[in-house]
Amino acid sequence: MESTARARFVRSTPTKARLVANAVKGKPVGDALSMLELNISKSVAVDVAKTIKSAVANMQSKNAEAAIDIDGLLVKEIRVDQGPQLKRFRARAQGRVGRIVKKMCHISVTLSD
C-alpha cells in the first residue's frame, strides 16, 4: 500500500533540498522524522518533514477503517524537482545590472509499508 504527498513552490534551491532528501530516503518514517527534526540543521528539513507527515495523513485518510502502523512505513521514494525561478535585479557598478535568481523546488514523497 502506498501513499504520496507533494509540496510545491518550496522557497529553497533544489540542490540544498536534495541533500536533505537523500539523507532520509529508504528509512522508516519515525527515524526519518526524528532525523529531520533533530540532526539536520538545514531550513528545508522543515518542509521535507511537513511533506512526510502529509503523506502519512494521506495514508491514514485513504485507509480509515484499517489501523496504520507508522513505524512500519518506509520512505520509498523522495524526489526534488526544479520549480520556477524568481528573477530579480540589483544595480552594479557603471550602470550595469546584476541578475539574482531565486530558485524554488517541488518535493514529492512516496511512502510504502
Res 14: pLDDT:
97
Res 78: pLDDT:
96
The per-residue pLDDT of the chain, averaged, comes to 94
Q: Residue 56's pLDDT band (boundaries 50, 70, 90)? A: very high
Q: Looking at residues 77-85, what average pLDDT do you find? A: 97
CA atoms within 13 A on the CB side of 53: 10
In percent, the amount of the chain with pLDDT more than 90 equals 87
Q: Looking at residues 25-52, what average pLDDT do you find? A: 95
Homologous superfamily in CATH for domain 2-112: Ribosomal protein L22/L17 (3.90.470.10)
The H or E element containing residue 80 is strand 74-91
- At residue 95, what is the residue type? G
- At residue 30, what is the residue type? G
Q: Residue 71's pLDDT band (boundaries 50, 70, 90)? A: confident
Q: Residue 64's pLDDT band (boundaries 50, 70, 90)? A: confident
